[in-house]
Amino acid sequence: MTFSLTVLGSNAAVPANNRNLSAHLLNANERYFLIDCGEGTQFQLRRYHLSFRRIKHVFISHLHGDHFFGLIGLLNSMHLLGRKEELHVHAPAMLLEIINIQMEVSQTTLNYPMLFHPLHMDQYTLIFEEERLTVHSFPLRHSMPACGFVFREKKPPRRIPEARSYAYCSDTGYTEKIIPYVQETGLLYHEATFMQNMSAAAADKFHSTAMEAATIALKAKVRKLLIGHFSARYEDIGPLLAEARSVFPETYPAEEGIIRDI
């Protein structure tokens, strides 16, 4: 059974250097889970031939624009394309007010039920569960309340010895408090906005360096690390990758459009 990730956007703050804004699509046993929805996400879904209709749950980590400004456009496109199936949105509580205002001023009433689930931003919380999968949120260390998400299979399919798992840490300063939440995941995505020579700027902005992301991966004993949320100052991300691999060799870049099995 499928358990794979497609990165739709890997840049921080603004699209640059042919990189788009934060969005990941997890295919868990043919169910699509969209994680963050930066501006342009629906274009990336079309570009990589990923069906809007198969997205049943959307998870928004926090309310900086590069992580959610694409959501209202996606919701509207689903509406215009005749969606009838319900859509679950898991996000900071204030986002519901933002969505409602946008719908009101555009005189839009969605054709489908949108079920909103406010996140608990300060504690580890089970936010979704089905027969084969659980999703938990957990607090990150950022300049505004922000959550990470961890997806874990309950029962591995036949011929797969271990249950698969994926953890997503969007915008966060270095903090070892997240280690228990992401411990021993198959794939950890951790932001790596800066290189280590900008560690002071990273700390000031509540972001991480590539080396810090790798340190978390090492201490959490994950199998593989995926780094992204790159600053636009880095046209070439090779040095960030090399820096992370010096600490944690099983580090890979968040390459957009690449399907990565977990």
66 noted as active-site residue: yes
pLDDT range class, residue 156, cuts 50, 70, 90 = confident
Q: Give the chain's length.
A: 262
Q: What is the pLDDT of residue 161?
A: 75
Give phi and psi for 185, each to the nearest 5: -70, 155
pTM of the predicted structure, to 2 decimals:
0.97
- Delimit the domains of the chain by residue range: 3-261
Nearest to residue 181, comparing CAs of 114, 215, 135? Answer: 135
CATH architecture of 3-261: 4-Layer Sandwich (3.60)
Mean pLDDT over 245-256 rounds to 98
Share of the chain above pLDDT 90, in %: 95
Q: What is the pLDDT of residue 207?
A: 98
Residue 158, pLDDT > 80, answer no
Burial of 105 (0-12, 13-18, 19+ CB in 10 A): exposed
Q: How many helices (H) and strands (E) are present in the chain, helices listed first?
A: 7, 14
pLDDT range class, residue 155, cuts 50, 70, 90 = confident
Q: Which of 36, 66, 204, 261 is catalytic?
A: 66
Whether 255 and 36 have beta carbons less than 8 Å apart is answered as no
DSSP 221: T
